[in-house]
Amino acid sequence: MKGDRRGGRDDYDEAIRLDPDDAELWIGRGMTREKERDDDGAIEDFTECIRLKPDHARAYFHRATVRALRGENAAAISDYTSAIHIDPKYADAYANRAAVRLATGDRAGAAADLRKALEVAPPGWPPRERVERDLRRIESPPKRRLQPP
């Protein structure tokens, strides 16, 4: 049934039962679980995908995204870094890693990642304007607050 997330997940469950060694099934179910906000299940599925296919950049990317949303910043940075090592032109991984780095106070690392994302991004990359704006904001000097007399 179109739009029925549970139906899609049931389909993945059955497909995985029939072919548990298909990494694409695991990432597919993981993405379904991610959309359902089943963070633990999504991480398990992305991890199984990575076990089956260690060079699956998207599985690292999606596991990192779930981890970042859970506040697991070090693990998220590690997974985004793995995705980037596998695919050095993964602009979205650089941009997302920048957001996590910024959340941890690493402004220089975040700026470097945003610059790299812009460098490797394909023409027409949808987040380009937002990334350029974020980079300008990070690189501009902090505004000084007026001190009371």
Tens digit of pLDDT for each residue in 18-74?
Answer: 999 999 999 999 999 999 999 999 999 999 999 999 999 999 999 999 999 999 999
Answer yes or no: is pLDDT of 4 > 90: no
Q: Count CB neighbours of 69 within 10 A.
A: 13
Confidence band of 3 (pLDDT split at 50, 70, 90): very low
The 10s digit of each residue's pLDDT in 86-96 is 999 999 999 99
Distance CA 72, CA 63 (A): 11
Distance CA 130, CA 123 (A): 15
Q: Count CB neighbours of 5 within 10 A.
A: 12
